[in-house]
Structure 1
Amino acid sequence: MRTVAELEERLSRPRDVLVDLRKLDGDILILGAGGKLGPSLVRLALRGVAEAGTGARVIAVSRFSEPGLADALRAQGAVIVEADVADDAALAALPDAANVLFLVGAKFGTSGREHATWATNAYLPGRVAQRFAGSRIVALSTGNVYPLVPVTTGGCVEQTPVQPVGEYAMSCLGRERVLSHFSVRDDTPMALIRLNYAVEMRYGVLVDVAAAVLGGHPIDLTMGHANIVWQGYANEVTLRPAPHGDAAVRVEPDRPELVSIRQVAHRPGRRMGREAHLTGTEAPTALLSNAQLCHRLFGYPDVPVAELIDLTAQWVADGNPLLGKPTGFQRRDGNF
């Protein structure tokens, strides 16, 4: 994965996803297909459907603000619908689909715009759930609904009591509660994906750390540990729950290992011939999830952490394109 083309190919390479796509009836509608996660998920769905031979359409819905993205996905076989799903008329006009992936959410810019964050993260999901009542819905959520927990615990599991910190996390819990309400009321099969930090070579915690090392910027160690997961695996997990979902279930696809930010910083530093500038001391708690249930359901990620760190360090050192969207993983107060 040394070029954008190689990275996109790996991100969208069907693996275990074919097991469940062969069981899936009906089209796949992806809401928020133009965001940072959406394009690779659309491509994975297209390749998976083609190999599974189901004949399902993959319908990509977004405002598509990135120039050329809609045309590129259309050329690869996606049905493109340019629409703002926050607009009631546009939402009502969307094509019906048996399977709906809901990727829309707001995180950054929450502070000072809390009202807009709640509208996107809690009100809109309810409108989507009503529009697609009876479809199988998979919605992205976040591990931020959990409290910070001692590193020694190994992270939160699906049954851990939620305790969101900050407006963003509270609005995401609102999204889950609203979706779960409509799932129960309308008998809509639903899966909620509590994702912490998915990574690829252009975005994620590893990019944030490697870019800081390369630029000589300080890295705060107070949030000393984090979960990371290969974005290609997160894409698979987002596509696969639909055949399993007959209730509002929650799945966490992050790795069970605790990734040390200190160690992550030193490894690219050695590869780049630079010394990581570290500040602060690791707190005894962090935002952590345990993915054992997810791995039992869907298998284990296929790209090891060490490989992800090395690939990201090389990518950043080579000056390859980045998405320019820092994760804010260092935040402990929930303000994004």
Structure 2
Amino acid sequence: MAGPDARFFETLAPLTAAELADVVGAELLRGGDLMIAAVAPLGSAGPEAVAFLGDRKFVAALAATRAGAVIVPAWAVESAPDDAAVLVSPEPQAAWARASARLHKARVIDQTEAPGDAGEDGSVVLEPGVVLGRGVRIGSGTRIGANTVIGPGVQIGRDCRIGANASIAFTLIGDRVSIYAGARIGEAGFGAAVSRQGPVDVPQLGRVVLQDGVTVGANSCIDRGAYDDTVIGENTKIDNLVMIGHNCVIGRNNLMAAHTGISGSVTTGDNVMFGGQAGVGDHLKIGEGARIAGGAGVLADVPAGETWSGYPAKPIRQSLREAVWLAKQATGKTRS
């Protein structure tokens, strides 16, 4: 995604790098006259955007960035591109979060869309109490349950079924998608930056994309991306009370049983299965066809085709051998 989707986010008036430094509490080192209109990560930032470096492992990305301005700690100044405006801060992520809040604003329901304008044709059914934000579009044959709230700009495909009391925002939905009652799609992902004044919320500027044939169970939550998208692949089936964090990319034909929790920035291949109460740590990869047993806690990448169980999760044979050995040790100690 080149920048925050204009259907969901308003871009505010640009600032010079000097003005931005004052707003975020950073020291301007050079390039104060440069106009900054947006925020972006190092890898995708353009000449009108500001990016930040928060970790030494991304120094190479800093040197290669096309960002017009960068917010960096003092030790990284020499790695910044020569043609970029440089803002120095001991808390660069928090400063970038403040810049995000100043340059971009999430659209809210300040005006509702008339049902006749939102629906593709007369086959769209809106049950009593449905609220549609400005710019919502709904494909033919779709039915939306009572008291559901659809935020500004949301696009819903054909032949979808959305239950009562759901809320959907910052989201693009394909055809034949089912979202059950009480689901929350597109809320802000959990992101906070450390600062001297305490944690600072990092604005979440991405979207949720639900591809064709997806099912989302009752009271499940799918967070929008921090900057890129959270994507749920075709025909994936999500049970009730499942949590999927921001920036996740879930493959096709995945199955997730109730109480599964997927932390942010997880990627899964196609045909992955999760048992009930399975949990996955952030920034991990689950290979195609892998199976995660119920109650497992995954803290490492899972290769394609393998079945893992236990906490911390391991290949199931290893996990079972260790469980048997531990049971024998416990039994032996009891007898002694």
For normalisation by structure 1, the TM-score amounts to 0.27
For normalisation by structure 2, the TM-score amounts to 0.27
Bigger helix fraction: 1
